[in-house]
Amino acid sequence: MIEIMEVSLEYIKGLWTLPWILIGFIVTVVLSRFFGEQKINNAMKKIGLILLYFFVPFLLFRIFLGVDFRENEIIFTGVCFAVLSFMYIIAYFFALFKAKKINLIEETKRNFIKTVLTNQGRSSAFIGGAILAIQEWRVPAAIYMSIGAIFLFAFIPYFLSHLYKKNLKESDKNLKIQVLPGYLRFFPWYLLSFAFIAIIVHGFTGITAKSFGSDISIIFEFYTQLTIPAALFYVGSGIHPSDLKLSELKKLFGFDKKEKEFDHWSWVRNIFIVTVLVTPLLISFIFGLLFIFGAIASSWFVVIIINSILPITSTNMFLIPYGIDKKSTAHAVTWTTIVCVPIVVLLITVFRIYLV
């Protein structure tokens, strides 16, 4: 059994993991025919939670257990905070500009800005986890994922809660609203605890995953490495053929002549533009120059660029009670997944060939 695991490890690393997106898509389509799409979707949501709590943290633990967390890693942690803050600032000012341009006022304007801002949150734990499969990128990728979780499940919900309370009428000020389920509010700190424990243990003792003996280290590596193909399978399962409608594609790109002035598709289009075009282009320009002039390592460049083009995370749907537009968010998640996943796969392949 140990020998089989050891041989199998080569096929759940690196570029070998990327086909699992396609496998997830095909398997889900087939199963949906027999059991119904809704049943399969519900099952995949449960699998997603299992991955978040019982696989991703242990993968990060194994990665950080072999890392001397020193100056470079601390600097990159600060860079991640700066990059993610910059991404949300881009979204905020883009939304502000667009709201003025299309003459949105009062509550509609506030909800539009909140919707665009929130949907800058990306799926770094699943499709972004593909970067962890590449040995040379896994440490900065793990750091970025950890910081991204703090923004996604802590900073942004707190900011939206503050805005929500600020805009309530005086009579409703004491109204309490709990949007994110407890297991999601707890997740970023749960994830970070694994990283902190691994860093502290390795820092004080020098222990790595291989210190526990050959057999145990192979079993642990196999278990944690399964996270990546499983996460990519999950990403593929979230792409539904029923979403690939020409009519919706026309609405997304503004070719539908029947579109009303305040149709939610104009919101989807603006979210799509800021997440798929504006943000990646600005990030690529800034960090492309830094990389060309040798100011940052290739692994930093790769991790930051790929994370800037990730699809929007579906967990944003939990934030709808704060005034986030439900239809716009749902369609934005769907179409950024359809468009961004192939781009991410292409970038990982190209960067793996030329920048490693």
Residue type, 239: I
Q: pLDDT digits over 285-326, tens only?
A: 999 999 999 999 999 999 999 999 999 998 888 888 888 898
Whether residue 217 is predicted with pLDDT greater than 60 in this model: the reply is: yes
Higher pLDDT, 252 or 115: 115
Query: Helix-strand-coil percent breakdown of the chain, rounded to 5?
Result: 80, 0, 20
Rounded mean pLDDT, 131-149: 94
Whether residue 280 is predicted with pLDDT greater than 50 in this model: the reply is: yes
In this prediction, residue 227 carries a pLDDT of 93
Whether residue 209 is predicted with pLDDT greater than 90 in this model: the reply is: no
Region for 106 from its dihedrals, namely left if φ exceeds 0, alpha if ψ lies in -120 to 50, beta otherwise: left
The CA distance from 323 to 321, in Å, is 5
Mean pLDDT of the chain: 89
Residue type, 348: I
Whether residue 205 is predicted with pLDDT greater than 90 in this model: the reply is: yes
Burial status of residue 235 (CB atoms within 10 A of its CB: 0-12, 13-18, 19 or more):
buried
The CA distance from 92 to 114, in Å, is 8
In this prediction, residue 85 carries a pLDDT of 97
Range in 61-75, 259-273, 274-288 with the lowest mean pLDDT: 259-273
In this prediction, residue 168 carries a pLDDT of 59
User: Please, are residues 201 and 207 in contact by the beta-carbon 8 Å criterion?
Assistant: yes
Write the DSSP assignment of 272-332 as a string of letters: HIIIIIIHHHHHHHHHHHHHHTTSS-HHHHHHHHHHHTPPBPGGGGGGGGGT--HHHHHHH
Rounded mean pLDDT, 188-201: 95
In this prediction, residue 170 carries a pLDDT of 45
In this prediction, residue 63 carries a pLDDT of 94
Rounded mean pLDDT, 118-133: 90
Q: pLDDT digits over 81-107, tens only?
A: 999 999 999 999 999 999 998 888 888
CATH number for 2-354: choose from 3.30.70, 1.10.3470, 2.40.160, 1.20.1530: 1.20.1530
Whether residue 283 is predicted with pLDDT greater than 90 in this model: the reply is: yes
Rounded mean pLDDT, 336-356: 93
Q: pLDDT digits over 25-51, tens only?
A: 999 999 999 998 889 989 998 999 999
Helices (H), 102-244: 106-118, 138-150, 156-166, 182-205, 214-225, 227-237
In this prediction, residue 182 carries a pLDDT of 83
Contacts of 239 (CB under 8 A, 6+ apart): 25, 337, 338, 341
Where residue 207 falls among pLDDT bands split at 50, 70, 90? very high
Higher pLDDT, 178 or 135: 135
CA dihedral over 118, 313, 129, 276, signed as positive or negative:
negative
Whether residue 2 is predicted with pLDDT greater than 60 in this model: the reply is: yes
Whether residue 244 is predicted with pLDDT greater than 80 in this model: the reply is: no
In this prediction, residue 158 carries a pLDDT of 86
The CA distance from 333 to 101, in Å, is 24
Radius of gyration of the chain (CA): 21
Identify any residues that bridge with 122 across adjacent strands, giving them in sequence order: 312
